[in-house]
């Protein structure tokens, strides 16, 4: 089965629990369509380089999955419909890397400095 990484940004006025429930909906969509979610990362509320839909910040998420293209297209269709999702990006990868993503590694290093 092909491997994918999905990154999406939720609106800043959502709470972190609301944003995580949106991520759970997309995980459920993938699993209902025969896919498998490998890993989920919540990167937190981060500043955006430019304003999107009158927002300067957003809740960032990363989903790693193994699923068929039909499941991915269904999830992307639902992301287009959902008003709480500002942007999303799906990338097909050859294999998932072990461990945390670069964003989580940077966050851990910043936490160690403080």
Domain segments of the chain as ranges: 3-113
Q: Using 50, 70 and 90 to split pLDDT, how confident is the model at 1?
A: confident
Q: What is the pLDDT of residue 53?
A: 80
Return the minimum-mean-pLDDT range out of 56-65, 75-84, 89-98: 89-98
Q: pLDDT: is 1 or 76 the higher one? A: 76
Percent of the chain scored above 70 by pLDDT? 84
Quick check: 109 pLDDT over 60? no
Length of the chain measured in residues: 114
> The whole model's pTM is what?
0.82
69, with CB counted inside 10 A (0-12, 13-18, 19+), is exposed
Q: What is the DSSP string of the chain?
A: --EEEEEEEEETTS-HHHHHHHHHHHHHHHHHTT-EEEEEEEEEEEEEEEEETTEEEEEEEEEEEE--HHHHHHHHHHHHH-TTEEEEEEEEESSPPSS--HHHHHHHHHHHH-
Q: Quick check: 75 and 57 in contact, CB under 8 A?
A: no
pLDDT of 9 reads 93
| Each residue's pLDDT tens digit, 24-63 | 999 999 999 988 999 888 988 988 888 888 889 999 999 9
Q: What is the pLDDT of residue 113?
A: 58
CATH, domain 3-113, list 3.30.930.10, 3.30.70.60, 3.40.50.970, 3.40.47.10: 3.30.70.60
Assess whether pLDDT exceeds 80 at residue 85: yes
């Amino acid at each position: 089965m092909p491997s994918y990484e999905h990154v999406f940004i939720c609106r800043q006025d959502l709470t972190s629990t609301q944003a995580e429930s949106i991520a759970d909906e997309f995980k459920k969509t993938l699993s209902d369509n025969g896919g498998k979610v490998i890993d989920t990362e919540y990167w937190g509320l981060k500043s955006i380089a430019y304003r999107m839909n009158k927002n300067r910040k957003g809740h960032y998420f990363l989903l790693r999955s193994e699923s068929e293209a039909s499941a991915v297209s269904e999830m992307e269709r639902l992301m287009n419909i959902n008003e709480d999702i500002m942007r999303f990006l799906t990338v097909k990868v050859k294999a998932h890397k072990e461990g945390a993503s670069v964003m989580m590694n940077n966050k851990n290093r910043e936490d160690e400095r403080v």
